[in-house]
């Protein structure tokens, strides 16, 4: 294959974190933003690595070290598949630079191959974060064996190929099936939410079925992921646990065959797939009707809700925490504090303590749902039309914060009601939970759009870059995790005071951000 795909791959990779823009720009602010994004992503990687090590230690401590590689392959493949499916294959299809790339003197096969390889390398980096520490832990427990290391390396390097091919194919097929529908983007968004809820329900079912006395049963987790969900990982297990040499080669052949078949088939229909993905809605006959007058701010808010529900990647990435809160709220319907066998005289004290911890956890999940982090960036090259409207910058920014506030507030209040009822809460806990839901929803919404105002990303080629790879999102999510976990942990010892302190700080910052919008200016 000619070397043209190498240049396409290079351009795509250096554009992921604005590395090329920062390198060529004379603006120190661009260099600081890119450096900060890399540092934050490295921090995220370290936290994820810590949890992987804990899981690997749990596996090995239960005598399941030989099953760990197959488990890692299965878990990594499942996560890669989910993200590829939810992104709508954004790295492969439907990019804003498609017209430019299509006009280049390169074949469709080279374009597809370069984009497939770019997606593969990004996902391989994630798989390595999972596989390397787990492998080190396994060899530390069971001893080093050279041929096993070779088999693990081979399995890890081909691991992302199959889930990328299957996930992108399903996403493209879904887009093709819904291309002629009027509300195709909403249908795709609902499908993504249903799939996410199903995955979380499956995860919760495993968590609640684990033996509470011995901790999570890693054997049950292995059986669920390897034996029931991701069957190709069985071939990895056959080689590394049972010593059947040809198993790892069968796994490699299946993965590579899927990747090659994907490139060959997709390159034939690449132009049609991009056309379908870029088509925002089905054609319909124009019907004259009375024009309804509405206030500018209400029109802007309506526009933001439509934008949110028109993109599966934007919607799912933006309201993940709210979905988890709703799932937790309905799960509480099947929970009864009296079934825990706690003496009646201790129930009130324990319910109060767990109630404060739950309010802190609620703040964490509210902070995880922040569509406003990317709302301004998603205007992209069309932002000039919005910024030229006869409305103030404050109105634009506040309108972009409204969907985040409304969604978080509804899910937070729903959780608060059911949680307080199940915890047999007193009036103080009810008021505290409701206040936290309102305050933290406002803080998250305004904080997200404020950070997006300070760190916009307008030069994206697909929505995923603006939605997922942004400094505001990383700051908001991890700040809420730190604050929520700290408040919940301290509440176990100091009662309501850490929650009150968290609410007071969030309220002061919310008011300060709101007032700062009076002097906001938006430039094209």
Token pair 């406003």 in the structure block, residue: 372
The continuous run of DSSP H or E covering 386 comes out as: helix 383-387
477 has a pLDDT exceeding 90: no
- Which carries the bigger pLDDT value, residue 266 or residue 453? 453
Chain segment 411-440, per-residue pLDDT in tens: 999 999 988 888 877 888 899 999 999 999
The CA-atom distances, in angstroms, between 467 and each of 26, 52, 370, 378 are: 26, 25, 10, 8
DSSP per position, 115-173: HHHHHHHHHHHHHHHHHHHHHHHHHHHH---HHHHHHHHHHHHHTTHHHHHHHHHHHHH
46 has a pLDDT exceeding 90: no
Count of helix runs (H) and strand runs (E) in the chain: 23, 0
pLDDT band (50, 70, 90) for residue 475: confident
pLDDT band (50, 70, 90) for residue 21: low
Lowest mean pLDDT among 44-58, 129-143, 182-196, 378-392: 182-196
Domain ranges of the chain: 4-278, 296-519
217 contacts 343 by C-beta, under 8 angstroms: no
* Rounded-to-integer distance, Cα 29 and Cα 476, Å: 20
pLDDT band (50, 70, 90) for residue 239: confident
- Which carries the bigger pLDDT value, residue 217 or residue 493? 493
pLDDT band (50, 70, 90) for residue 55: confident
On average, the pLDDT of the chain sits at: 78
What average pLDDT score do residues 211-215 get? Answer: 44
Lowest mean pLDDT among 69-78, 89-98, 408-417, 484-493: 89-98
* Residue 391: DSSP 8-state: S
405 has a pLDDT exceeding 90: yes
Residues 252, 255, 258, 263, CA torsion sign:
negative
**What is the pLDDT, as a whole number, of residue 64?**
77
* Rounded-to-integer distance, Cα 400 and Cα 388, Å: 16
Helix (H, G, I), strand (E, B) or coil at 479: helix
Chain segment 139-187, per-residue pLDDT in tens: 888 888 888 888 889 999 999 999 988 888 877 776 666 655 566 666 6
């Amino acid at each position: 294959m000619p070397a043209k795909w190498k240049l396409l791959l290079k351009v795509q990779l250096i554009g992921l974190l604005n590395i090329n823009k920062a390198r060529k720009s004379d603006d120190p602010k661009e260099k600081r933003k890119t450096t900060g994004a890399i540092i934050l992503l490295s921090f995220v990687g370290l936290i994820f690595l810590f949890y992987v090590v804990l899981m690997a230690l749990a596996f090995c401590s239960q005598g399941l070290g030989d099953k760990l590689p197959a488990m890692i392959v299965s878990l990594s493949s499942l996560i890669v598949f989910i993200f590829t499916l939810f992104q709508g294959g954004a790295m492969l299809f439907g990019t804003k630079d498609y017209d430019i790339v299509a006009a280049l003197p390169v074949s469709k096969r080279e374009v597809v191959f370069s984009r497939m390889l770019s997606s593969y390398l990004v996902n391989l980096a994630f798989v390595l974060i999972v596989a390397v520490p787990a492998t080190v832990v396994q060899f530390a427990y069971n001893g080093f064996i050279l041929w096993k290391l070779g088999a693990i390396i081979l399995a890890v390097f081909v691991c992302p190929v199959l889930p990328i091919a299957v996930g992108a194919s399903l996403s493209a097929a879904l887009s093709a099936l819904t291309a002629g529908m009027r509300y195709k983007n909403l249908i795709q968004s609902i499908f993504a939410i249903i799939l996410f809820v199903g995955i979380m329900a499956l995860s919760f079912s495993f968590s609640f079925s684990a033996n509470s006395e011995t901790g999570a049963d890693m054997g049950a987790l292995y059986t669920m992921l390897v034996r029931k969900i991701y069957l190709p990982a069985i071939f990895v297990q056959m080689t590394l646990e049972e010593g059947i040499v040809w198993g790892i080669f069968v796994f490699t052949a299946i993965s590579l065959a899927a990747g090659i078949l994907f490139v060959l088939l997709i390159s034939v229909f690449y132009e049609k797939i991009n056309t379908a993905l870029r088509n925002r809605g089905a054609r319909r006959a124009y019907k004259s009707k009375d024009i309804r007058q509405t206030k500018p701010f209400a029109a802007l808010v309506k526009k933001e809700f439509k934008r949110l529900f028109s993109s599966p990647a934007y919607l799912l990435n933006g309201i993940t925490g709210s979905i988890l809160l709703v799932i937790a709220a309905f799960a509480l319907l099947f929970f009864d504090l009296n079934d825990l066998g706690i003496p009646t005289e201790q129930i009130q004290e324990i319910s109060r303590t767990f109630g404060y911890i739950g309010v802190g956890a609620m703040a964490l999940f509210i902070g995880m749902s922040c569509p406003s982090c990317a709302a301004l960036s998603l205007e992209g090259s069309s932002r000039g039309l919005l910024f030229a409207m006869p409305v103030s910058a404050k109105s634009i920014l506040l309108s972009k914060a409204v969907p985040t506030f409304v969604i978080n507030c509804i899910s937070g209040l729903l959780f608060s009601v059911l949680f307080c009822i199940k915890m047999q809460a007193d009036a103080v806990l009810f008021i505290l939970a409701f206040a936290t839901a309102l305050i933290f929803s406002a803080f998250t919404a305004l904080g997200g759009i404020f950070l997006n105002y300070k760190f916009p990303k307008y030069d994206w080629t697909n929505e995923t870059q603006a939605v997922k790879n942004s400094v505001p999102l990383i700051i908001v999510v991890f700040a809420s995790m730190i604050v929520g976990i700290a408040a919940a942990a301290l509440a176990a010892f100091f009662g309501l005071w850490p929650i009150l302190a968290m609410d007071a700080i969030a309220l002061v910052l919310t008011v300060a951000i709101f007032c700062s919008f009076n002097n906001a200016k938006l430039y094209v």
